[in-house]
Amino acid sequence: MKILEFDHYNLSAPRELLERLRVFYTETVGLTVGYRPRFQKFGYWLYVGDHAVLHLSESSQDSSTLPGQSSFNHAAFNCSGLQKCQQRLSQLGVEYTTARITELKRVQLFLSDPAGNGVELNFPDE
């Protein structure tokens, strides 16, 4: 597997906080709300130019953050070499889940780092 570039990061929060995050990142930071595929959970994709660098996704109210915790959900990377990556993860005993986003022609692998932070690896759906 070869990492090609950083893709995006994701913040997950209850709807009320999610709206405040959207306002902050658009009005204060200057990102713009743009296209987002239809996912099961509500959210926004915020863009720099034509690249969605921040994904905001709704979490349930009971999973709201506690003091000292953050809303960080995962970092994502665009990659190549899906089969080799899957073989390596299996060899290392790293658990992951797979999603296929046909609308974006992507295969996604989701795993956690040793600290429990989410990692998303995106591959072309060939």
CATH of residue 118's domain is 3.10.180.10
Q: Is the confidence at residue 66, as pLDDT, over 70?
A: no
**In whole angstroms, what is the distance from residue 11 CA to residue 8 CA?**
10
DSSP state, residue 66: P
Confidence of residue 62 (pLDDT cuts 50, 70, 90): low
Q: Which domain holds residue 28?
A: 2-124
- Tokens 């299996």 belong to 90
Quick: pLDDT tens for 69-123.
677 888 888 889 999 999 988 998 989 999 999 999 999 999 888 767 788 989 9
**In whole angstroms, what is the distance from residue 33 CA to residue 26 CA?**
7
**In whole angstroms, what is the distance from residue 88 CA to residue 67 CA?**
37
Can you read off the two tokens belonging to residue 106?
A: 């992507």
For the chain, the domain total comes to 1
